[in-house]
Copies of this chain bind each other. A is one copy, B any other.
Amino acid sequence: MKGTKERIIEATAGLLMRQGLAGTGLKQISSQSGAALGSLYHFFPGGKDDLAADALRVAGRSYLHLIDDYFTGRTDLVEATEGFFEGAAAVLEATDYADACPIATVALEVASTNDMLRQVTADVFAEWIDVGAQRFAEMGVSPDVARELVTVTIAALEGGFLLCRAAKSTDAMRVIGRNMAALVAHRLGR
């Protein structure tokens, strides 16, 4: 069974992904997690920012594992790239466009308004790019090209989440996936 702190973090991460930081209140986190407000302050004396920082780090790490697992041991990077976007489209459809990037909504909100949380989101994105670039390099891509391709892949995925959630359609994600696969093929000289 999950501990109280874990339930609080999980509820917070879900709410931040769906409605952002300013739209998420401690009362809502309390009711969603089944933890008393006093518990929230016990585990996170710094209040909402403190809790949000932890929730973003935990959500970022679980996404990191997704990226890591997905690209580990692949033999065809072009196919894997297209499949990566297919997977994102499938998750959007399965969750009525609610489950997308756990970091992006907050990252845009805090970029100009909260430097502590901005740095947390920057660290999460940097880790995703690092681990993705390692996996691409293990498939024989030169380190520089690997880092470039993963940077573009993450950016296109984020932009895809944005366009698809707004339109309630995964058409854009599939177009993006095919074109990212074409870019990878082109950069690998295929």
- A residues sitting closer than 8 Å to B (CB atoms) are 18-23, 96-98, 104-105, 107-109, 111-113, 118, 121-122, 125-126, 148-149, 151-152, 154-160, 162-163, 165-168, 172, 175-176, 178-180, 182-183, 186-187
Known: A23-B22, A113-B18. A176 touches B151 (CB 8 A): yes
- Determine how many copies of this chain the complex contains: 2
Do the beta carbons of A156 and B154 come within 8 Å of each other? no
Please give the distance in Å from A26's CB to the nearest CB on chain B. 14
Do the beta carbons of B165 and A158 come within 8 Å of each other? no
Closest 4 CB pairs of A and B: A155-B159, A22-B23, A22-B22, A111-B165
Known: A155-B156, A172-B151, A176-B152. A111 touches B97 (CB 8 A): yes
Most buried by B among A98, A113, A159, A168: A159
Tell me which residues across on chain B come within 8 A of A22, comparing CB atoms: 19-23
Please give the distance in Å from A88's CB to the nearest CB on chain B. 12
Known: A108-B108, A156-B152. A166 touches B122 (CB 8 A): yes
CA distance A96 to B112 in the complex (A): 8
Known A-B contacts: A151-B175, A154-B159. Give 16 more (CB < 8 A).
Answer: A18-B113, A19-B113, A98-B112, A107-B165, A108-B108, A108-B165, A112-B165, A122-B168, A148-B179, A151-B163, A155-B160, A158-B158, A159-B159, A159-B162, A182-B183, A182-B187
